[in-house]
Structure 1
């Protein structure tokens, strides 16, 4: 069957960084809406390191499509500009349509940067793209009749068709049945948006350039239907993501979603959400319900530890608000919190950077094993207030096109006190100092926290920096990875009625000084053994059951007057506290 349009997603791949995006939901919404209008679209994702011209040309030939669409961002625009022309040389009839954040922010610039592109869609693409498709069957119609476009006329002049009438209802667009359009094999879709728009006007974001922002929440019934659709296709995965800031903006709506996750999935499907600190602070009473419903990880925008910088960003939050929210999330036993900070942004100097680093460390101490901090270097995105008025924010843009490195990982601006080299250096310092503290804190987390970190990884594949840190501690890693990943047990989990039939296995081999054996817990920590401790530890090699070990020990004359049952049980609990023994049921 002929395909009307092929939509392409390109994630930029560098030698040192992969700017990997999850599948762009926008293109899937476009494909679903086009299907309602009688058109057929397919979507394919690529890495920029692949032979794109060859692979895309092959798909165009196989699908016999008339329209090729690209989602363009600040990174992949440089790839797309090099491949569109050669592809169109093979297929002169092909109409190339571009959209996405880079196009919405700077349509004319992007059309000039990608000269072989024919049409740019500004803003939401469902209706404009369907209208472009309709021109295939209705040649009497013109691009001039479709709002929300920019294109070149016959003379090469770029024409704008004007803004479309604002959509006030997010329910006008059906949620996408992703698997109907995806050409990628073995892909699992786990992302959902519950609304469109943003109430914020942050200076570093494109939304901050708007005079007023309109938030459009999707109908709750539609969201729940989509949740069920996504979960029904998860296969062996147990994790979904709500990727819009609007998830908790309406408490009653959030309660309905959470209750559905409890009633239908018993909280066994874990999930991620993004949250604004100011909104979450006003709705802390939701946390117990969200935890019960399966909330596993929350992402917060910290941005800076300096109130002066936060105010310049128009973040509408106080530094103390972030501390409060992180503490409450930790107390609610939310497993993972990610907080991102911007280095080298508005009015940044050594003092404001120091405040940011201090805050990041404090958050890790407030929520050890839970609060994960990260940083990115300020990026001058096109169309944002900080890019259009850099002087107002104390920055000087020295690489407006961000040609010298990946977004978030290279410094493209300077401030009055910090040149680009210093900003880059401070980003490295932030990462080094936070990693150092994290590795230190990782040595003394609670047993509950260690267990939670490993459960996150083995149950849903959540590979946090805390997981990487605790994996460096051999005894802890062996103990919890065998329990969480291989079905072993802690002695505290075993019913006393079957304990004698279970087999103790040490997680770490003893250390010898040539005279005796020591137990080794943390690296460099050697614990001496009593004769019984040594015997018990050596016999816990995975060959004998607890009952068999006790039988051997009771035969030894030196233990004739000892209550072996009580003493070995006490020692095994001590070994358990040292993360040195795990148990398996008798074969």
Structure 2
């Protein structure tokens, strides 16, 4: 009996740990893993699976792939009517009878943890046994009627064989994300999350997991993401694992964890800050909301002061990249309350801030009680909320425009100096900047066209000229610096049309050459022209970089790039240089310049 287990990942670099668990647990059967992405055409996926001529196909289903999986199933049953179609995964575990009714081509649904159930199911299919006594499934009986058997009991996690030792996975380990888990379950009861439905936390043996991680690193895995819902809930286990990874990691590997920040002990953070190499760890922290009443309604316990302490300690340590999550649309959090939540969290300047919207997942408390808060939401996955009694659909659309600008102008880190100045000196709060710019972006219809890096700069400058013209000169200077920081080699063009005239640039180069021996850096006069960009700033760049103060004393920024594209240090110096006229026509005298290697 030939069995294929398959799924549609969100991206090619993702891998499905679930499929590998199923294959490892069902080693007595001929099980083949086939992964696709949600962007692959349905007919192409179905054709690939048809060519394998399987007797059984199992699909792992989630909110991001269920709607793309259904057309594949429909095609398969038409071209291969005798194949058994089995679904599993969190999306079909709840309301499983609904899924069998909606997708008549599906024969069986495996609910909950499927490893042992799937193995028993394959045995029953192969021997043509009745399914009425197999726990953990919903299926169609001989008469075509839908039957749901009791849930399967939990089992010790160490009974699952290793899912990481398949030879076919080794060539791509370095190119894709490797998912692991050290535990299952979550002690918290957040009503928007599926983990709130299960009770208790079970662990894999830590020595086994150390061995698994060593194997993965030895065979080239570079990005290893832990799927534990709260990695640090068991302090001893988490600390021992952090210590192991710090001592035994391989160069270039990154470990990603989902942690609960307000229960993280300061001594653990101090240990990481003192011992971990920079960039080894990445923390994902779900803040979701800073509204205490909202958190109480969704049964979410959160101490924001302790959470802030953790995030600040991690940021000050400079070793760990932090990704913080917010959820718009939670009960009783209206537009102004969410504005406050956003500002509370953005004040900590996380490396990444993801603004998501509430998904009304099947089986969760929020979906079951949606009427209580007047929720409307999408009928099909991902079941995103559209409105509730505190947040109108118009409010939702406005916040989506905040999300768009946040992703383009903060999470990408194309212009950190510029954005930090804008949110600190121009607008009342960071949220107001992202909101107003989001509205302006939409009004200009830029959401309907693509953009390159230069477009991001020019469009932001256009917005600043419109809404804060008296800050435009300073913003322009910071954008110059940010723009050059995005390149390892001299960019072909500036982001702006205007600049210093060619003849004046020649005079500046000649004057600068007299005061600084560029030959020590390996540059001739010709190479200095070839590998530099020069701009006139309206403020004292050194004062701003060192103290964050805007002193309106013009200065020159010369960006020098290494011919080999190598990264070199930022260097500062000053050279007296009287410049009689600024490019915009105003008179000024520049008493010094700042020389920066900025790549």
TM-score (norm 1): 0.72
Aligned twin of 1:423: 396
DSSP 3-state at the match of 1:44: strand
Aligned twin of 2:446: none
For residue 227 of structure 1, report the CA deviation from its aligned partner.
Answer: 0.6
Q: 1:399 aligns with which of 350, 353, 378?
A: 378
DSSP 3-state at the match of 1:109: helix
Instruction: Please tell me whether the aligned partners of residues 475 and 508 of structure 1 are also in contact (alpha carbons under 8 angstroms).
Output: no
Instruction: Please tell me whether the aligned partners of residues 4 and 32 of structure 2 are also in contact (alpha carbons under 8 angstroms).
Output: yes
Distance, in Å, in 1 between the alignment partners of 2:194 and 2:371 is 17
Aligned twin of 1:233: 219
Instruction: Please tell me whether the aligned partners of residues 305 and 358 of structure 1 are also in contact (alpha carbons under 8 angstroms).
Output: no
Instruction: Please tell me whether the aligned partners of residues 323 and 353 of structure 2 are also in contact (alpha carbons under 8 angstroms).
Output: yes
Distance, in Å, in 1 between the alignment partners of 2:176 and 2:12 is 15
Query: Is it true that 1:280 corresponds to 2:264 in the alignment?
Result: yes
Deviation by residue 1:563-586 (Cα, 9 ceiling, x = unmatched):
xxxxxxxx9642899573379xxx
Kindly report the root-mean-square deviation, in angstroms, between the aligned alpha carbons of the 2 structures. 4.1
Deviation by residue 1:375-425 (Cα, 9 ceiling, x = unmatched):
111111111101001244x242243435xxxx38xx533222322232122
For residue 198 of structure 1, report the CA deviation from its aligned partner.
Answer: 1.3
Where do 1:473-488 residues align within 5 Å?
475=481, 482=488
Aligned twin of 1:52: 42
Q: 1:224 aligns with which of 194, 202, 210?
A: 210
For residue 430 of structure 1, report the CA deviation from its aligned partner.
Answer: 5.0
Distance, in Å, in 2 between the alignment partners of 1:433 and 1:185 is 32
Query: Is it true that 1:195 corresponds to 2:183 in the alignment?
Result: yes
Distance, in Å, in 2 between the alignment partners of 1:573 and 1:506 is 21
Deviation by residue 1:71-101 (Cα, 9 ceiling, x = unmatched):
1122422222222233123223211110011
Aligned residues: 483
| Residues 255, 207 of structure 1: alpha-carbon distance in 2 compared, 3 angstrom cutoff | closer
Deviation by residue 1:99-127 (Cα, 9 ceiling, x = unmatched):
01111122111222221010000001111
| Residues 374, 220 of structure 1: alpha-carbon distance in 2 compared, 3 angstrom cutoff | same
Q: Which runs of 5+ in 1 are unaligned?
A: 13-18, 365-369, 446-464, 487-504, 520-527, 549-570
DSSP 3-state at the match of 2:26: helix
Moved more, 293-302 or 101-110: 293-302
Instruction: Please tell me whether the aligned partners of residues 238 and 270 of structure 1 are also in contact (alpha carbons under 8 angstroms).
Output: yes
Deviation by residue 1:150-185 (Cα, 9 ceiling, x = unmatched):
001123221112111222x22111220264465997
Aligned twin of 2:560: none
Distance, in Å, in 2 between the alignment partners of 1:420 and 1:301 is 24
Distance, in Å, in 1 between the alignment partners of 2:511 and 2:253 is 48
Distance, in Å, in 2 between the alignment partners of 1:578 and 1:179 is 56
Instruction: Please tell me whether the aligned partners of residues 511 and 517 of structure 1 are also in contact (alpha carbons under 8 angstroms).
Output: no
Instruction: Please tell me whether the aligned partners of residues 29 and 176 of structure 1 are also in contact (alpha carbons under 8 angstroms).
Output: yes
Moved more, 532-541 or 295-304: 532-541
Query: Is it true that 1:387 corresponds to 2:367 in the alignment?
Result: yes
Q: 1:61 aligns with which of 28, 48, 51?
A: 51
DSSP 3-state at the match of 2:257: strand
Query: Is it true that 1:363 corresponds to 2:354 in the alignment?
Result: no
Aligned twin of 1:175: 162
Aligned twin of 1:156: 144
| Residues 435, 518 of structure 1: alpha-carbon distance in 2 compared, 3 angstrom cutoff | farther
Q: 2:249 aligns with which of 265, 272, 279?
A: 265
DSSP 3-state at the match of 1:163: coil
Q: 1:73 aligns with which of 42, 57, 62?
A: 62
Distance, in Å, in 2 between the alignment partners of 1:76 and 1:347 is 30
Distance, in Å, in 2 between the alignment partners of 1:160 and 1:434 is 44
DSSP 3-state at the match of 1:348: coil
| Residues 534, 273 of structure 1: alpha-carbon distance in 2 compared, 3 angstrom cutoff | farther
Query: Is it true that 1:316 corresponds to 2:316 in the alignment?
Result: no
Query: Is it true that 1:354 corresponds to 2:339 in the alignment?
Result: yes
> Could you say which structure has the greater relative contact order, defined with CA pairs below 8 angstroms and 6 or more residues apart?
1
Instruction: Please tell me whether the aligned partners of residues 148 and 163 of structure 1 are also in contact (alpha carbons under 8 angstroms).
Output: yes
Aligned twin of 1:374: 354
Q: 1:101 aligns with which of 90, 95, 108?
A: 90
Aligned twin of 2:573: 574
DSSP 3-state at the match of 1:133: helix
Distance, in Å, in 2 between the alignment partners of 1:238 and 1:73 is 25
Where do 1:368-517 residues align within 5 Å?
370-392=350-372, 394-402=373-381, 407=382, 412-432=385-405, 441-443=416-418, 475=481, 482=488, 512-513=500-501, 516-517=504-505
| Residues 306, 436 of structure 1: alpha-carbon distance in 2 compared, 3 angstrom cutoff | farther
Query: Is it true that 1:327 corresponds to 2:312 in the alignment?
Result: yes
Instruction: Please tell me whether the aligned partners of residues 506 and 541 of structure 1 are also in contact (alpha carbons under 8 angstroms).
Output: no
Aligned twin of 2:424: none
For residue 31 of structure 1, report the CA deviation from its aligned partner.
Answer: 0.8
Moved more, 200-209 or 435-444: 435-444
Distance, in Å, in 2 between the alignment partners of 1:53 and 1:75 is 19
DSSP 3-state at the match of 2:284: strand
Moved more, 326-335 or 183-192: 183-192
Q: Which runs of 5+ in 2 are unaligned?
A: 421-452, 458-474, 529-569, 576-592
